[in-house]
Amino acid sequence: MPLNVWTEFARSEASALASTSAPLMTLTYRSRAAAPMTTDRLRELHQAASARNRAEGVTGVVLYDEQRFFQWIEGPPASLARIWSSISQDSRHTDIEAISVHAAPTRLFSQWDMRLFTSRREMTASMASPALLADPDAHRLATLAIGDDVESARTLLRSAFARIGSVHQLTEQLIEPAARYLGDLWSDDDCGEYEVTLGLCRLQTFMRDITAGSVPDRASDPLVVLVAPLPGEIHLLGATLGAEAAWKAGWETHIRFPSTEEALNKIVATNWFDAIDLSLSPALHREHRLASMEHMIDAVRRASRNPSLIVVAGGRAFHDRVATRADVGADAIHRSATDLERAILQTQHRERPSSDSR
């Protein structure tokens, strides 16, 4: 985003937020250091930025790696406007590119005036939600998905897909991080579960728009895979993304939304499946549902026509390592729908029955 375009956009955003009781905006940008930064120069930059942010009520993080800067700052619109003016005129860096600027419901880095990282590995290890930093638009997408401007959310996702060029990467870098951020907003009481459900439904609809019309190559001997949310799970985005991943793998993919355990067992008792993917919410941990998931996986194995049925599980509880494969009795888990194919193939340790026996 060119500097003058960003400035106009930031001005309009700040004006719109001026009447709110606690306006908050987020800005992310990247740039290139005009010359390699020594440890002493980085320390001086960090100290000055921390002091300035503290005075302005701004918080954030900055990464300096391979002579490139990436910075995320958040605070009152007027404060960000003053800081941006200083940043854009600083001769210590060039090729300044504003990535995202938008209203935000809450801060991500309230504990830091300005945290400095000098490697991506260090940043990833320290961040509670590193995926948001990998693509800052995930934060904005989540906010737009529960707001009134639905078309802006759709446009943002389409633009990201045009830039990324891969449904696989779009899912991992944008859709799933946005879903988890919605869950974080709920856990912080910044929105209700209704808003989370609405946001996830919208993300699901947007993804369908993007993938409509694409036809993957069919595998020569495709696995037959059932993808379903755990009965009683109202958030269906995880199952939708899992079905997309299985379909992209060239497998014969069936997606069902059973409302009860009995309905799920009937599906596997009357149809042949090589594998089943059961999902919990991609936004919320759902720890209270892990025991029922273990029970249902055991019941599915007993009901299945296939005695060697592969059972994998996904959801935020597994992404955040709240639960493991052993906790629910699955053959494998996946922390992202993009990892579903690997999870199933890794557990395919027995020879599949011939098609005649199905």
Task: For residues 344-352, give the mean pLDDT.
Answer: 69
- Cβ contacts of 88 within 8 Å, gap of 6 or more: 3, 96
Q: What is the pLDDT of residue 288?
A: 92
Indicate the length of the chain as a whole number.
Answer: 358
Per-residue pLDDT at 301 exceeds 50: yes
CATH number for the domain running over 224-357:
3.40.50.280
Q: What is the pLDDT of residue 238?
A: 94
How does residue 125 score in pLDDT terms, banded at 50, 70 and 90?
Answer: low
Per-residue pLDDT at 271 exceeds 90: yes
Containing 138, the helix (H) or strand (E) segment is: helix 137-145
The number of angstroms, rounded, from the C-alpha of 55 to the middle of its chain's C-alpha atoms is 33
Per-residue pLDDT at 313 exceeds 90: yes
The number of angstroms, rounded, from the C-alpha of 340 to the middle of its chain's C-alpha atoms is 16
Per-residue pLDDT at 344 exceeds 80: yes
User: Which architecture characterizes domain 1-127 according to CATH?
Assistant: 2-Layer Sandwich (3.30)
The DSSP line for 14-44 is HHHHTTSSS--EEEEEEEEESSPPPHHHHHH
Task: For residues 59-80, give the mean pLDDT.
Answer: 90
C-alpha separations of 317 from 100, 124, 203, 237, 293 in Å = 29, 19, 20, 15, 12
Containing 98, the helix (H) or strand (E) segment is: strand 93-103
Per-residue pLDDT at 11 exceeds 60: no
- Quick check: 24 and 74 in contact, CB under 8 A? yes
Helix (H, G, I), strand (E, B) or coil at 248: helix
Per-residue pLDDT at 138 exceeds 90: no
How does residue 160 score in pLDDT terms, banded at 50, 70 and 90?
Answer: confident
How does residue 221 score in pLDDT terms, banded at 50, 70 and 90?
Answer: confident
- Cβ contacts of 96 within 8 Å, gap of 6 or more: 3, 29, 30, 31, 87, 88
Domain 128-214: which CATH class?
A: mainly alpha
Per-residue pLDDT at 292 exceeds 90: yes
Q: What is the pLDDT of residue 198?
A: 93
Per-residue pLDDT at 350 exceeds 70: no
Per-residue pLDDT at 139 exceeds 90: no
How does residue 6 score in pLDDT terms, banded at 50, 70 and 90?
Answer: very low
Comparing 118 with 297, which gets the higher pLDDT?
A: 297
Q: What is the pLDDT of residue 14?
A: 44
Tokens 């595998």 sit at which residue?
219
How does residue 270 score in pLDDT terms, banded at 50, 70 and 90?
Answer: very high
DSSP 174: I
Comparing 221 with 316, which gets the higher pLDDT?
A: 316
What does the domain layout of the chain look like in residue ranges?
1-127, 128-214, 224-357
Strands 115-117 and 59-65: parallel
Q: What does pLDDT average to over the chain?
A: 84
Q: What is the pLDDT of residue 3?
A: 44
Q: What angle do CA 161, 333, 183 make, to 5 degrees?
A: 55
CB-side neighbour CA atoms (13 Å) of 353? 14
Task: For residues 130-140, give the mean pLDDT.
Answer: 62
Task: For residues 16-25, give the mean pLDDT.
Answer: 54
What distance in Å separates the CA atoms of residue 228 and residue 79, rounded to the nearest whole number? 47
The DSSP line for 264-306 is HHHHHHHS--SEEEEE--SSS--GGGHHHHHHHHHHHHHH-S-
Q: What is the pLDDT of residue 136?
A: 66
**Identity of the residue numbered 244:** E
